[in-house]
Amino acid sequence: MSGPQTNERHAPKVAPKTMVQATTKHERSEFGSVRKSVLFLGAVMVVYILYVIFSGQMDEFVSSLRGVDITWVLRGGLCMFFYYILGVVGYAVPVAREKRSPLGFRDLMSVEAAGIFFSFLSPGGTGAAPAQIYRLTRAGLSVGASSALQYTRFIVYEAAEGIFAAIMLIFRYRYFIDTVGNFAVIGLVLFGVKIIEVFALLVICLCPGFVLRTGNGLINLLGKTPIKADFVHWHSVVDGQVQEFSDGFKDAAKDLPMMLLALLVSLLQLGCQYALAWFVAHAFGKSADLVTCLAAGSMLELLTSAIPLPGGALGAEGGFAMLFHPMFGSTITAAYVVWRFIEYIGPIVAMVPLLGLRSRGGRNVYQRLARIRQGLDTFRRGLPGQKGHEISGGIKIKPKTAPHGKAEPRHAAVSIPDSQAMGDSKRK
């Protein structure tokens, strides 16, 4: 991928300093939104506890939690950890071919942590992209290059969500019809919305002229209203960033193997998230089919992402109860609490110390991977059976053959470096 990272041909037309300052201000406002989201989610949790108490389910809720197998809960947490690791890999795949990219693995770890943290704690996940772009610019990318990388990753992830949902609907459509009835129709509608969303993003990337005309036209219309704003600035933002973003995405799309690999990584990442209900079911001693859990988890994600509240609150509770009630039965309330802890609360807490990670001028992703490849190649050459394998110091070991062609297993001819041989001759 040559565009989104370090393509110097497409220099941003808007001053990066101004854009970074705007992005930083936006991030500060997102932290304020996060505080409000935490308060809102706390209020939702209080209401949920009151509902459990006054509905007479408290005793059953407590007894269900007492019987939870903690080892399966920890395994679910490990699965969510792999979700995070695969998210970092999803960013590393397009960056890995850029020799001059300023991004290191710590930068990408911070970017993915910001995506999880702000996505979970902002309405509709809208706070993720600005926070991630800010961290990419802080690592040394221009605003346009950061936007191209971020939204390329976002489009691949959204496409993976649609593909995953389509596969699960094919294999488990009958399950949805038998268990939730007409709710399956809602799932199909949500799936259609996801496809439309991906198509709209592709239009933005592949048709920059249309987007520029539309964006500037909307700004002109707003300029005729009583709204007071710096419309000249927004015209410059649209003109300066849309084209660079489009060029970056087109350059990335030319590398088809990289895009397919990024798509595969995203599918595996989503699989880790959707499989959490399977671990929760085993924690409660329930038998569950993994593919069914993946299908229900995929449908639940489409539902919660359509709810414009932090963490898909209210939609997550109702969706989990409808989709997973056949698996959990009377323990559905306690199962939801455990699932929510693994899938939502735990990752939020775990991401906080990772937000400030920075590579600070160390080796970039390309150099790290090159070093790993070199080490693996050296290790491979040092394995028995490899001809002319080298060890440290430039010494080569070759098997010595006897005069009649028979090998002498306990002896070897050692070739000594020239510098050492010269030293020996001087001593003589």
Residues 35-77 pLDDT 10s: 666 666 666 667 667 766 665 566 666 766 788 899 999 999 9
Residues 183-210 pLDDT 10s: 667 767 777 777 787 777 777 777 777 7
SS (H, E, C) 23-59: HHHHHHHHHHHHHHHHHHHHHHHHHHHHHHHHCCCHH
Per-residue pLDDT band for 22 (boundaries 50, 70, 90) equals very low
Among residues 325, 319, 320, which one has the least CA distance to residue 288?
Answer: 325
Q: pLDDT exceeding 90 applies to what percent of the chain?
A: 19
Q: Which two tokens stand for residue 139?
A: 């690592």
Model's pTM, two decimal places?
Answer: 0.73
Residue 271: the pLDDT is 95
Residue 76: the pLDDT is 95
d(C-alpha 408, C-alpha 375), whole Å: 31
Task: Please state the domain extents for the chain.
Answer: 16-373, 387-427
d(C-alpha 218, C-alpha 215), whole Å: 5
Residue 74: the pLDDT is 96
Task: Give the residue carrying structure tokens 């595969």.
Answer: 264
Residue 181: the pLDDT is 67
The three-state secondary structure class of 311 is coil
Query: Is the model more confident about 113 or about 19?
Result: 113
SS (H, E, C) 291-309: HHHHHHHHHHHHHHHCCCC
Burial string for 325-352 (b: 16+ CB within 10 Å, else e) reads eebbeebbbbbbbbbbbbbbebbbebbe
Is 270 a residue whose pLDDT tops 90?
yes
Q: Across residues 287-293, what is the average pLDDT?
A: 91
Q: Across residues 213-226, what is the average pLDDT?
A: 79
Comparing 75-89, 182-196, 296-310, 342-356, the range with the smallest average pLDDT is: 182-196
Is 407 a residue whose pLDDT tops 60?
no
Comparing 115-124, 128-137, 216-225, 360-369, the range with the smallest average pLDDT is: 216-225
> What are the C-alpha distances in Å from 357 to residues 16, 138, 141, 149, 352?
22, 11, 16, 19, 10
d(C-alpha 352, C-alpha 31), whole Å: 12
Contact in structure between 157 and 273 (CB atoms under 8 Å)? no
Residues 154-182 pLDDT 10s: 888 988 988 898 888 888 888 777 777 66
Is 21 a residue whose pLDDT tops 70?
no
386 sits in the region (left: phi over 0; alpha: psi -120 to 50; else beta) called beta
Is 410 a residue whose pLDDT tops 70?
no
> What DSSP assignment string belongs to 364-418?
-HHHHHHHHHHHHHHHHHTSTT-TT-B-GGG-EEEEEE-TTS-EEEEEEEEEPPH
Q: Judge residue 19's burial from the number of C-beta atoms within 10 Å of its C-beta, 0-12 exposed, 13-18 middle, 19 or more buried.
A: buried
Q: Which two tokens stand for residue 417?
A: 């470096």
Query: Is the model more confident about 22 or about 63?
Result: 63
**Given the DSSP bridges, would you call strands 396-401 and 407-415 parallel, antiparallel or unpaired?**
antiparallel
Beta carbons within 10 angstroms of residue 302's beta carbon:
22
